[in-house]
Amino acid sequence: MLDTSKAAQLVLDDGSVFPGISFGADKSVSGEVVFNTGMTGYPESFTDPSYRGQILVLTYPLIGNYGVPGIDKEHNLLKFFESDKVHIRALIISDYSNNHNHWNSRKSLAAWLQEHNIPALHGIDTRSLTQKLREKGVMLGKLVNGTDVRLEDPNKRNLVDEVSIERKQIYEAGKKRVLLIDCGVKYSIIRNLLARNVTVIRVPWDYDYSRERYDGIVISNGPGDPKMCKATIENVRQSIKEKIPILGICLGNQILALAAGANTYKLKYGHRSQNQPCIDLETGRCYITSQNHGYAVDTKSLGKDWKPWFVNANDNTNEGMRHKRLPFMSCQFHPEAYPGPVDTNFIFDRFLRMVK
């Protein structure tokens, strides 16, 4: 019976230690420790490039239940994932399901994490850990699996550069052409555009797109501090001048804000969940949204030509903005979902209506 699995631990910057059992790759890593309260969708979450550099704590205790799907492709994109890589630095959970079951699963979560060289711990009191992060804010931490490592702040690196595409790629799907600035794009954003018969020109985060032919711009989600994306901000500032329709998503919302002269700041512990209520200030309607961000746009800093579009019903932070006259819009949440509710999918339609 006796457990052959290996004891390992999570050590936080404040010195607190959470002992657990290792079930992923056999290595030690450091990162920023963040929590997500979603109850389903781990294959999607772990491949979301916005998690770059982060040690992810899942508050829902039972993980791994339905295994991990295969690497089927559609439009030359992995069908069941949000990128080609597992981006989380490490995974921290309470109860790992040693035995999974699902018709579409091809391997266990443990096997998949090991394959991608991602360490993971189970048997952690994730509720206590989350409470600590809630009270003290996100903090650095390390998963120590044998050899110790130094704490490193991933936000000091240009994480976007690490996850963005290396060279331009085109996905043909129709006459309308959208330029997608890949700051760490989730495949579902591309899928949503393709499903609406839009050709997607996916370019690196710092790509000079002045010579490209396109009808609108989407600035994608991505990891880290938006202020690191100086080149993107500069390019977008130019596009604003050219009055090209722009949609910003998540990090894209922040980049658009910065390009428009507004400011961004770091949240205490961010929004990472699938149940964030956002109120559309134009209609009063409330939407349940999927979110993954640690920084936010400072609403007060918005210029007079801009107005907030959505606001978070729980903490009143900015969840999106619009230009009062011109075709620029953005949202802080993920209208493409995956994981999470797809209620705000209409954002893509709204945007595409503005695109010529």
Partner 1 sequence: MAKNKQKPKINKPKKVLILGSGALKIGEAGEFDYSGSQCLKALKEEGIKTVLVNPNIATIQTSEGMADTVYFLPVTPYFVEKIIKKERPDAILLGFGGQTALNCGLELDAQGILKKYNVKVLGTSIKAIRLTEDRKLFSEFLKSIDVKTPKSRTATNIEQASQVAQKLGYPIMVRSGFALGGLGSGVARNQEGLKLLAAKALAYSKQILVEEYLHGWKEIEYEVVRDSKDNCITVCNMENFDPMGIHTGESIVVAPSQTLTNHEYHKLRQISIHVIRSLGIVGECNIQFAFDPHSEDYRVIEVNARLSRSSALASKATGYPLAFIAAKLALGYSLSELDNSITKKTKACFEPALDYVVLKIPRWDMQKFREVDTKIGSEMKSVGEVMAIGRKFEEVLQKALRMLSIGVEGLACNALQFDDLEHELENPTDRRIFAIAQAFKEGMPVDAIYALSRIDKWFLYKIKHIVDMEHNLKMYSLSKELLLKAKQLGFSDNQIALLKGKSELEIRQQRKQLGVMPFVRQIDTLGAEYPASTNYLYMTYNSGQHDALPLKQKAAIVLGSGAYRIGSSVEFDWCCVNAVLTLQQLGYKTIMINYNPETVSTDYDICDKLYFEELSLERVLDIYEYEQPSGVIVSMGGQIPNNIALKLHNQNVKIFGTSPVNIDRAEDRHKFSQLMDTLHIEQPAWKEVTTVEDAKRFAETVGYPLLVRPSYVLSGSAMSVVFEEKRLIEYIKKAADISREHPVVITKFIENAKEIEIDAVANKGALAAYAITEHIENAGVHSGDATLVLPAQRLYAETARKILDYSSKIAQSLQITGPFNMQFLAIDNDVKIIECNLRASRSFPFVSKVMKRNFIDIATKTMLGKPIPPFKNGKLSYVGVKAPQFSFTRLKGADPVLGVEMSSTGEVGCLGKDLNEAFLKAILAVGFRLPKKTVLLSTGPLKTKLHLLEACTHFKELGFTLLATEGTHKFLKEHRIPATRVYWPLDKKQPNVMQFLESGSVDLVINIPKSSEKIELDNDYIIRRMAIDRNIPLLTNEQITRQFAHALATVKPEQLEIKSWQEY
Stated as kind and residue range, the H or E segment containing 193 is: helix 187-195
φ/ψ of residue 144, rounded to 5:
-105, 115
Sign of CA dihedral 28, 32, 37, 41: negative
Considering only residues 301 through 320, tell me which ones interact with partner 1, judged by CB under 8 A: 311, 313-316
Candidate list 6, 74, 128, 195; residue touching partner 1; CB under 8 A: 128
Which CB sits closer to partner 1, 23 or 80? Answer: 80
Write out the E strands in 60-101.
62-63, 68-69, 73-74, 77-78, 90-92, 95-96
Contacts of 304 (CB under 8 A, 6+ apart): none
Strand ranges of the sheet holding 198-204, from the earlier edge strand across to the other edge? 169-171, 198-204, 176-182, 216-219, 246-249, 328-331, 318-323, 306-312, 264-280, 286-297
Residue 298 sits in the site that holds partner 1 (CB under 8 A) = no
Nearest to 16 by CA among 119, 132, 149, 126: 132
- Identified binder of partner 1 from the candidate list 71, 170, 195, 286, rule CB under 8 A: 286
Tokens representing 242 are: 């050219």
Comparison of 112 and 328: residue with beta carbon closer to partner 1: 112
In the annotation, is 336 catalytic? yes
If the CB atoms of residues 276 and 330 are measured against partner 1, the closer one turns out to be: 276
Which one is catalytic: 87, 122, 293, 334? 334
Look up 87 and say whether it is catalytic.
no
Out of 24, 31, 43, 223, the residue judged to bind partner 1 by CB under 8 A: 43
Tell whether residue 9 is a contact of partner 1 (CB under 8 A): no
- Based on the shown chain and the rule CB under 8 A, indicate whether residue 69 belongs to the binding site for partner 1: yes
| Residue 159 Cα distances to 122, 145, 229, 320, 328, angstroms | 27, 24, 9, 23, 25
On the 0-12 / 13-18 / 19+ scale of CB atoms within 10 A, 147 is exposed
Instruction: Please identify, using beta-carbon distances, which residue of 1 and 167 lies nearer to partner 1.
Output: 1
Q: Which stretch binds partner 1 (CB under 8 A): 111-119, 173-181, 208-216, 335-343?
A: 335-343
Q: Are 87 and 47 in contact (CB under 8 A)?
A: yes
Does 324 engage in binding with partner 1 (CB under 8 A)? Answer: no
- Stretch of 216-224, 229-237, 337-345, 348-356 lying at the interface with partner 1 (CB under 8 A): 337-345
Amino acid at 190: I
What is the Cα–Cα distance from 310 to 9, expressed in whole angstroms? 40
Quick check: is 334 catalytic?
Answer: yes
Q: Identify the residue among 50, 54, 83, 94 touching partner 1 (CB under 8 A).
A: 94
Check: CB of residue 306 under 8 Å from CB of residue 324: yes
44 binds partner 1 (CB under 8 A): yes
Angle at 351 between CA 265 and CA 221, to 5 degrees: 35
222 to 261, contacts with partner 1 by CB under 8 A?
A: none
Per annotation, catalytic residue among 250, 293, 323, 331: 250
Size of the site for partner 1 (CB under 8 A): 58
Which of 127, 230, 324, 353 is in the footprint of partner 1 by CB under 8 A? 127
Tokens of 132: 């600590």
Stretch that binds partner 1, among 142-150, 244-252, 339-347, 348-356 (CB under 8 A): 339-347
The minimum distance between CB 38 and partner 1, in angstroms, equals 7
Q: At closest approach, how far in Å is the CB of 342 from partner 1?
A: 6
Query: Which amino acid belongs to residue 336?
Result: E
x-or-dash string of contact with partner 1, 100-119, rule CB under 8 A = xxxxx---------------
Phi-psi region of 139 (alpha: psi -120 to 50; beta: other; left: phi over 0): beta
Chain residues in the site for partner 1 (CB under 8 A): 1, 18, 35, 37-41, 43-44, 59-62, 65-66, 69, 80, 94-95, 97-104, 125-128, 130-131, 134, 269, 273-277, 279, 284-286, 288, 311, 313-316, 337-343
Q: Kindly list the catalytic residues.
A: 250, 334, 336
